[in-house]
Structure 1
Amino acid sequence: MHSLYDAVTSLMYEVANDLLVPRFRHLAQSEIAEKEPGDYVTVVDKESEKRITERLATFLPEAYIVGEEATAADTSLLKNLKKGLAWTVDPLDGTGNYAAGKTPYAMMIALLADGIPQAGWILDPVSGRMCHAVKNGGAFIDKERVTTRSTGQAIPVVALSARVTEDNLHPDFDKHQPLNHGITLAPSPLCAGEQYPRLVLGQNDAALFWRSWPWDHAPGSLFLEEAGGKLARFDGSSYSTADCSHGMLGANSPEMWDRVAEALLR
């Protein structure tokens, strides 16, 4: 696994430095499109995924590769995650931010076995920070082992995805008066590759996610849980990469998960 860590890490830095960083704030409008309202794709997403896919295929030839942009063109690729080895690839997470010339944005890769994340990588191309996790082997930032920590606030700080609707929250919850429900709302970074590190590093105590595509959450879920946190569906059931239904809550500990779920969720 050590040699695989080095190979994937080197590849991610290479692609970020060759493609993502140089093109940031230098895209023409014709190089940005919407797959659906609010869901952007750029030429950088496509070029990055192509290079990553070609190189991952040489690392583990027997593994399927499920990239975000390839799956947008052929959703049947998701079936390849359920059995055997598979890679998930998000070549540019936070594309909406990137297209608007804003940070954060990230690159994420995970290795799955029978649908279960075994290793994950999350790169912040701007700072160069690499978050990595190995199943039953811990969570690391730039090779230093980390565990989750809280914000230290008496009232939990919770990031709430704009896509989470009132229908999923307690009937009396008021986004304009969250303190009445025992939480403080924090802005979402609009980038799962940034949100998961915020949960581990004590910037947020919890976060509500709406979409649950595997390339967005396979690496982050492993990183969070190996660091001591918890990710689960709104109803408390375990996260599965095979389930792309809406709604998940992540927190820096199982106890914090329970506390925020009681305050926010039906």
Structure 2
Amino acid sequence: MLDVDAVTEILREAAEAAVLPRFRSLSEGEVTEKAPGELVTVADREAEELIGARLRDVVAAPVVGEEAASDDPGLLRALYGEPVAWLVDPVDGTRNFVRGDTRFAVMAALVRHGETVAAWILRPTEDRVYVAERGSGTWRDGVRVRREPAPADPARLHGSAATRFLAPAAKRRVEEAATRFASMGSGSHCVGVDYPLLFEGGQDFLLFHRTLPWDHAPGSLMLTEAGGVCLRPDGGEYRPGDDAVGLLCASDDECWKTARSLLVG
């Protein structure tokens, strides 16, 4: 039986040891670019090492961490080549973290046979934790979260679309569709914030193009376990080990269809 609380405690302790002491205290040499426009800090690397080492004691399985996979993309094969694998995002929203913005998270997920079966999102500055297990619902600090259906009228819907990696034509379509909704922004630049906003009712849909597994495995499971929908724009199932692009998440089936018709066509 999976010890869910043990994983929660691992994330909390790593945040206390490696992340929070650096928040608003990073020196210039502690922030670098791992790719153009992609920041990494000493907090990311240290937290990932701490979390990965201890997760193997909970379930003995390979650990696919964001920073390790950045250095060695071959690690991603574990998500479909191994029966069980861990995913770790040690600081989701690194750019926010570097700026001193509290919208960052520490996340983990457990993948079995290519499907996410358990997920954790910790918001360290608020000591707030979300947990989900497949078939057992989504929970915030021990209270179950259920997403209610959104309004049918698109003019009453609120959402966000991450357009940075969209092709020009797709980006234009999304920008033109924005006027049809009550509001549509670009998100918080931290999926550990955006997914909870969706399944707790603060937004009604989310559109992504790039779907890195450590970003989307935790939130997608939480959304579906709370009653929402998370599918590829063509209606296909999301699996963290595949190499497809695009993900549309919504409060319910009808909202997903409405958002897709306007944002994707």
TM range (shorter): over 0.9
Number of the residue aligned with 1:80: 78
Does the C-alpha gap of structure 1 residues 145 and 200 become closer, same or farther in structure 2, counting only changes over 3 Å? same
- The structural deviation recorded for 1:149 is 3.3
Separation of aligned partners in 2, 1:124 and 1:241: 22
Separation of aligned partners in 2, 1:66 and 1:170: 31
- The structural deviation recorded for 1:18 is 1.8
Instruction: Kindly indicate whether residue 119 of structure 2 is the aligned counterpart of residue 120 of structure 1.
Output: yes
- Deviation digits for residues 212-246 of structure 1, max 9, x if unmatched? 11111111111000001111112221111122333
- The structural deviation recorded for 1:28 is 0.9
State, as a whole percentage, how many aligned pairs show the same letter: 38
Does the C-alpha gap of structure 1 residues 150 and 163 become closer, same or farther in structure 2, counting only changes over 3 Å? farther
Number of the residue aligned with 1:175: 175
Number of the residue aligned with 1:104: 103
Number of the residue aligned with 2:239: 240
| Partner AA of 1:42 in structure 2 | T
| Partner AA of 1:195 in structure 2 | D
Q: Which runs of 5+ in 1 are unaligned?
A: none
- Deviation digits for residues 145-185 of structure 1, max 9, x if unmatched? 111136768521111113253546386x3627722x34521
Separation of aligned partners in 1, 2:258 and 2:177: 18
Separation of aligned partners in 2, 1:185 and 1:10: 35
Number of the residue aligned with 1:165: 166
Number of the residue aligned with 1:65: 63
- The structural deviation recorded for 1:103 is 2.4
My pick for the range that moved more, 219-228 or 157-166, is: 157-166
Give the SS at the match of 1:90: strand
Separation of aligned partners in 1, 2:41 and 2:158: 32
| Partner AA of 1:77 in structure 2 | L
CA contact (8 A) 1:87 1:112 kept: yes
| Partner AA of 2:178 in structure 1 | P
TM-score, normalising length from structure 1?
A: 0.92
Higher helix share: 2
Provide the alpha-carbon RMSD of the alignment.
1.9
Q: Which runs of 5+ in 2 are unaligned?
A: none
Does the C-alpha gap of structure 1 residues 168 and 99 become closer, same or farther in structure 2, counting only changes over 3 Å? same
CA contact (8 A) 1:38 1:96 kept: no
TM-score, normalising length from structure 2?
A: 0.92
Number of the residue aligned with 1:19: 18
Structure 1 residue ranges, 4+ long, deviating more than 6 angstroms after superposition = none
Does the C-alpha gap of structure 1 residues 189 and 150 become closer, same or farther in structure 2, counting only changes over 3 Å? farther
- The structural deviation recorded for 1:262 is 0.7
Does the C-alpha gap of structure 1 residues 45 and 184 become closer, same or farther in structure 2, counting only changes over 3 Å? same
CA contact (8 A) 1:164 1:208 kept: no
- The structural deviation recorded for 1:253 is 1.1
Does the C-alpha gap of structure 1 residues 149 and 187 become closer, same or farther in structure 2, counting only changes over 3 Å? farther
CA contact (8 A) 2:165 2:210 kept: no
